[in-house]
A and B are shown apart, each in its own frame.
Chain A
Amino acid sequence: MTQGTKDIEALIDLLSRLPGLGPRSARRAVLHLIKKRSLHLIPLAEALTRVGATARECLNCGNIGTTDICDICTSDKRANGQICVVEDVADLWAMERSQQFKGRYHVLGGTLSALDAVGPDELRIPRLIDRIAGENVSEVILALGATIDGQTTAHYIADQLPGVTVTSLAQGVPVGGELDYLDDGTITAALKARRSL
């Protein structure tokens, strides 16, 4: 095997370890990149190099950015007294896609889990408490998963924040959802959270 072939095999191996990719799809991706060298391969390599050198977690909220304090935390427009607590950066990105939330975020980095020995100190809960004291926060919105671990974490955080309005996202029928296809748990949650029209 020549050095060039070894490098390509190494690239395939690295890509195949990414989520959603296996050896076959990684091979297809690498082949595509090589065929579209100037259009995809070189810009991708340059972008990877840049991101590799600059990407870091925001020291304030845990978001991923290229500076020590992320754009959301430095923006005065986002200082509206609301902090949305999310489990992971992917959840933050999902909230940002909706373009409905105009406040700041706090990324916990997981949820409390007795079985996996994840306690409050393993998450960014102490940092959240510090932020609430220092950033004049009027409302904390808990946007955590509708799972047992997610809601256990939500109740724990709510207990730690006396004197602050703590809200959580509603649970129930998704947009475009039909009752016939929903599980009984979702229907139960939706019925509990019903509202008058």
Chain B
Amino acid sequence: MIEWRDQGALLAVRTHGESSVIIEVFTPTHGRHAGVVRGGASRKQAPLLQPGAQLDLTWKARLDDHLGSFTAEPIRSRAAQVMDDRLALAGLNAVCAILHQTLPEREAHPPLYDRTIALLDLLGQTEIWPLAYLQWELALLTEMGFGLDLSACAVTGTNEDLCYISPKSGRAVSAQAAGDWAARMLPLPDVLKGQGEASGPEIATALTTTGYFVEHRLIRSLGDKPLPVARARLVEAIARLT
């Protein structure tokens, strides 16, 4: 019998038979991991197994490649905190959906786990959460090997007047170097460089750029799927912020 114990953030829950559920969690040392929770659909356990919840998990299976079963104890529930906050709810859905879609199974990413927990802990703080989410998405791209290089122009090497990102290389391009190709470039708003005002529309523009790389590089490397709808709803909600 193989057994381990870890903490994890709950990403997804699916019913399994009448009384059990299959949960998918993001753990620091075992990555995205699935398993059955017996009785997980019961009136006692179902409220605890809501996406975003932080759980103390024990996973057991006869063989390592089996689905296995989880015993889950709640550490922290986040559902009640976000339910009446439109932006927080959209944010939680987007984070869970993106991690569910982009993380390889059973591959540890401790730095990303730490950043994810920090991001989830900020849920509900509308003033800072959109910017924190943008930075988290940049960190996700970096962790998965598709990081953006915004330090200098890919063509001239200058670090001034950087206005675009090349959709091919993910590197910054200055306005002068872009020239006639500017229309084919992705926008590089100041907020993405860690400068300027982090207004809702500005962050939404930056998320359009990061979204391109999440969809066309990261998700496409795992199969032909679109960006999760939950992320599009989050970007819409952020764009409405003043």
Partner-B contacts on A (CB < 8 A): 19-20, 114-116, 119, 146-148, 151-152, 155-156, 171, 183-186, 188-189, 192
Q: How many A-B residue pairs have CB under 8 A?
A: 63
Check B12–A171 contact: CB distance below 8 A: no
Q: A115-B100, A148-B50 are in contact. Are A183 and B83 (CB under 8 A)?
A: no
Check A188–B81 contact: CB distance below 8 A: yes
Q: Is B89 an interface residue (CB 8 A)?
A: yes
Partner-A contacts on B (CB < 8 A): 12, 14, 18, 47-48, 50-52, 74, 76-77, 79-84, 86, 89-90, 92-93, 97, 100, 228-230, 233
Choose one: A119, A152, A171, A188; the contact of B93 (CB below 8 Å): A152
* Chain A residues, Cβ within 8 Å of B82: 148
Complex Cα gap A192–B156 (Å):
55
* Chain A residues, Cβ within 8 Å of B76: 184
Complex Cα gap A114–B98 (Å):
10
Check A148–B97 contact: CB distance below 8 A: no
Check A147–B93 contact: CB distance below 8 A: no
Check B47–A185 contact: CB distance below 8 A: yes
Check A185–B97 contact: CB distance below 8 A: no
Complex Cα gap A152–B97 (Å):
13
Check A185–B100 contact: CB distance below 8 A: no
* Chain A residues, Cβ within 8 Å of B52: 148
Check B80–A189 contact: CB distance below 8 A: yes
* Chain A residues, Cβ within 8 Å of B83: 146, 148, 151, 171, 189
Check A185–B18 contact: CB distance below 8 A: no
Q: Can you list 12 residue pairs at the A/B interface with Cβ under 8 Å?
A: A115-B100, A146-B83, A148-B82, A148-B92, A152-B230, A155-B89, A184-B80, A185-B50, A185-B77, A186-B47, A188-B81, A192-B84
Check B18–A20 contact: CB distance below 8 A: yes
Q: A114-B230, A189-B83 are in contact. Are A148 and B47 (CB under 8 A)?
A: no
